[in-house]
Structure 1
Amino acid sequence: MVERFKKHINSKLSFLKDARLLIAISGGVDSVVLVHLCHQLNLNISLAHCNFNLRGKESDEDENFVIEFANSLDIEAFTESFNTEAYAARNKVSIQMAAREMRYFWFDELAQQLQFDYILTAHHADDNLETFLINFSRGTGLDGLTGIPKINNKFVRPLLPFSRENVIDYAKANNLNWRVDSSNASTKYLRNKLRHEVIPILKEINPSLLQSYQGTINNLSDTADIVEDCMEAFLEKAILSIEDNKIVLSVLEFKKKNNPKAYLFETLKDYGFTEWNDVQNLLDAQSGKYVVSNTHRLIKHGDTLLLSELITEAYEDLLISNIHEEVETPFGVLTFSEVDKVSTNDTTAIFVDKNRLKFPLKIRNWQMGDVFFPFGMVGKKRVSKYFKDEKLSLLDKESSLLLCSQNDIVWILNRRADDRFKVTENTTDILKIELK
């Protein structure tokens, strides 16, 4: 296996030979074998072990084993202890997801602080098959059927061409010791159930299952490359703009396609949407209709779709006690300055009669029922009617903020000033309010 591994590194992962590598090691046979193989090839490696404190004494023994193993090979090892159950409860995720999130965050942190070029994990061909079956059973697209990526940013999986049987045979042949995680024997978790009950039956039906699966993965990966090329060309036309808080997509470009739902899926698959019929129905929906995922919202606005992060918290009211304060807003820093004359009003700056303001001023979200007197017009207008006349999207309406003097609107930030505070021939003190 050493020669096969060496050949694989030389032909597919040669960049690892001159890099600083951090190997994620649990103490199980897979990661122990990966470390031993990399050590045999004299790669520049260090080890990182997570103690999730989920199996009492076993967890501590795993950590001690890793430290002793690293010492026996004269390799640097890092360990970190986590309160996994507390993290899971606090973030309302499963124990497995909590461990995954903390593990990868710590690996990234180590790599950045200590300048490791790549992080190696010991996923092998059987892990890849299990992942394929998990995704297949839950429902997925092409990406979910192409298995675990060999390279994903800093993360590299050098053992993917090798089976679990290859790994165990190597460990035994080299008299390696390893730790056995007792929780891996439980079929309570889907991956273990597939590993212990489903895959053995599939291998009995087809003894060459892993080889057949690898051929399928290669074919699917080739197809995925074609899809990626097609989507790149499509998105050059479909993405109208990318702004700080939203991506604007052309409805027309999707409707030109024979299967718009397929293009919507490929465009939006990374944003958590699951109800794809509802997403497709937005193409013909009225403005203001939307679909949400756990993290994002897709809004129909005219001939566009607006993709934005889901904001669950309203903007907190801010009080401004005097003109010497500078206030941070989503639109920029709000500043005040006394000036001698008025230059042209625009959306980022207004000029007001300072003596008409009553401090403290307040910045707040707009509310239904708000009324103001638009600058340059006679009479009042509901803010909601102004938004409608301006053809603002739901997203723009929700993010709009008001600068108020007591209960009176002075300015819809970045949009329209109120006529009641304008500078007149009787004004003695002019105040410029600006967003920078």
Structure 2
Amino acid sequence: MLHQPQQKTYLLAVSGGVDSMVLADLFQVSGFNFHIAHINYHLRNEDSNLDQKLVFDFCDKHNIPFHLYEVSEEDEQPENSIQNWARELRYRYFREIQEKENLDYLVTAHHLNDQLETFIINLSKASGIRGLSGIPQNENGILRPLLGFSKDEIYDFAKENQIDFREDQSNQKTDYLRNKIRHNIVPELEKINSDFLNNFSKSINYINQAKDFINQSVDDKIKILKINSDENQIIINKEKFSQESELIRYEILKRFGFNDENEMQKVLTAQTGSSFFNSEFQLIINRNELIFENKLEVRNDNLEEILLEIIDNEIIIPQNIKNEIQEFGNCFWKVDKQKVQLPLKLRRKQEGDLFFPIGMIGKKKISKFFKDEKLSILAKQKIWLLCDADERILGVLPFRQDGRFSSEKSYDYFEVRI
């Protein structure tokens, strides 16, 4: 079940139902090093307290560390989507315990019937190969060792080994989608084929093998379509991407967190300059490029402004910023001391910014200057403006200085060296 299980530590999520009590018993008789966590939502009056007591008594009898979270009025409960709220609450609590107690894995008691219900739910959502592959046995530090066993097998094991558990009567209701599938759809499928659940288990195994194959194919396709990449971004050829099958396009976008099927069509027809966002990535459309940027990486372009030191009349540009600027070239500017207000700073472009480029007559918007320089969307995001305390732009590094602040004197100036 687990690689070197005796050397690892575990946190078991135990509700008091037959699945989780069988799981707890198996871990106890196997001699694993584990803790147990229980959530009392207080949604079922005295039944909730009796569930808690059962789990606590099991831990007390076997000297197992017990962790309890009791939902109170301070925990704001939504009027709808209470299942999602409860799930987020318990997993957040479990992770807190893991971190505090330094436990390697979280273990849940999901079983084969849960797998089937999840499959049907995902099938109705057109969720792709990942959704159809169901609940993973081992992913993101969460283990589900009972996934291969049916609910009936778990009941039989509990009866044979005299394992105490409690039934949650709310599971008999059909208020929620999962319960409707459990009580209305699955029994009909089993009437059609008495061996349906066993055959489904085999099918899920085949689907997972297909998922692994597709994932490898997607990795290979990304390598072929990739124009450039570093630790923070991957650039893909948009034209070649659009020529791939719908499945490959969908799976590539999902790899970067873009799961909406409608969003895929928007990406294919989006104009240059369009951006798409999710919690992890920003997708930028730049001519024939799809630029996927990792939003979780700390990058210089996340900085709003940087105050600059002046040492021996040289404006000191931080080395990490200087490295970024040098992608576009070098410069040596002389800034008239008498014409600027200190402190000087670097910042990104803002709406309406303009300056007076040296060697030209009149003013020009920074956006127009970028366009004339034929800078890509990505390049524009990396450009720094040198400004003074009055927000006047002294130049666009390293391209062009503002002629109003350039010094022609052989003294009384600040140097900018890139």
Matched residue, 2:365: 382
Query: Which structure 1 segments of 5+ residues have no match?
Result: 1-8, 312-326
Distance 1:122 1:216, change over 3 A: same
Distance 1:279 1:225, change over 3 A: same
Q: Deviations over 1:46-90 (max 9, x none)?
A: 21222334445444443333211111222111222345984565x
Displacement after TM superposition at 1:343 (Å): 10
Q: Deviations over 1:287-340 (max 9, x none)?
A: 1244556875533202211234789xxxxxxxxxxxxxxx99627854312324
1:421 aligns with 2:415: no
1:408 aligns with 2:408: no
Count of matched residue positions in the alignment of Structure 1 and Structure 2: 404
Displacement after TM superposition at 1:357 (Å): 2.0
Contact 1:131 1:147 survives alignment (8 Å): yes
Matched residue, 2:237: 250
Q: Mapping of 1:332-351 within 5 angstroms?
A: 333-340=306-313, 347=325
- Write the distance in 2 (CA, Å) between the matches of 1:336 and 1:218: 62
Contact 1:120 1:156 survives alignment (8 Å): yes
3-state secondary structure, aligned to 1:299:
strand
Amino acid aligned to 2:335: V
Contact 1:33 1:171 survives alignment (8 Å): yes
- Write the distance in 1 (CA, Å) between the matches of 2:398 and 2:76: 41
Displacement after TM superposition at 1:132 (Å): 0.5
Distance 1:38 1:113, change over 3 A: same
- Write the distance in 2 (CA, Å) between the matches of 1:54 and 1:376: 74
Contact 1:360 1:406 survives alignment (8 Å): no
Matched residue, 2:288: 303
Q: Mapping of 1:201-216 within 5 angstroms?
A: 201-216=188-203
1:330 equivalent among 291, 303, 310: 303
Amino acid aligned to 1:388: K
Displacement after TM superposition at 1:117 (Å): 2.0
Distance 1:47 1:278, change over 3 A: closer
- Write the distance in 1 (CA, Å) between the matches of 2:99 and 2:200: 36
* Alignment TM-score, normalising by the size of structure 2: 0.82
- Write the distance in 2 (CA, Å) between the matches of 1:271 and 1:39: 40
* Alignment TM-score, normalising by the size of structure 1: 0.79
Q: Mapping of 1:425-436 within 5 angstroms?
A: 425=409, 427-430=411-414
Distance 1:396 1:178, change over 3 A: farther
Q: Deviations over 1:203-259 (max 9, x none)?
A: 1211111111011112112211221221221222333445676442222442453x1
Displacement after TM superposition at 1:127 (Å): 0.6
Displacement after TM superposition at 1:16 (Å): 2.1
Q: Deviations over 1:138-186 (max 9, x none)?
A: 2211111111111113111110111101111222223322233343232
1:220 aligns with 2:207: yes
Distance 1:249 1:102, change over 3 A: farther
2:17 equivalent among 28, 43, 56: 28
Query: Which structure 2 segments of 5+ residues have no match?
Result: none
Matched residue, 1:75: 64
2:110 equivalent among 120, 123, 128: 123
Root mean square deviation, CA, Å: 3.7
Contact 2:384 2:397 survives alignment (8 Å): yes
Contact 1:336 1:433 survives alignment (8 Å): no
1:50 equivalent among 36, 39, 45: 39
Distance 1:398 1:341, change over 3 A: closer
Amino acid aligned to 2:226: I
Contact 2:383 2:396 survives alignment (8 Å): yes
- Write the distance in 2 (CA, Å) between the matches of 1:329 and 1:227: 35
Matched residue, 1:265: 250
Q: Mapping of 1:47-196 within 5 angstroms?
A: 47-82=36-71, 86=75, 94-196=81-183
Displacement after TM superposition at 1:410 (Å): 2.8
Contact 2:130 2:211 survives alignment (8 Å): yes
Q: Percent of aligned positions with the same letter in both sequences?
A: 34
Amino acid aligned to 1:120: V
3-state secondary structure, aligned to 2:258:
coil
- Write the distance in 2 (CA, Å) between the matches of 1:399 and 1:76: 52
- Write the distance in 2 (CA, Å) between the matches of 1:242 and 1:145: 31
1:235 aligns with 2:222: yes
Distance 1:332 1:120, change over 3 A: farther
- Write the distance in 2 (CA, Å) between the matches of 1:37 and 1:156: 14
Matched residue, 2:353: 370
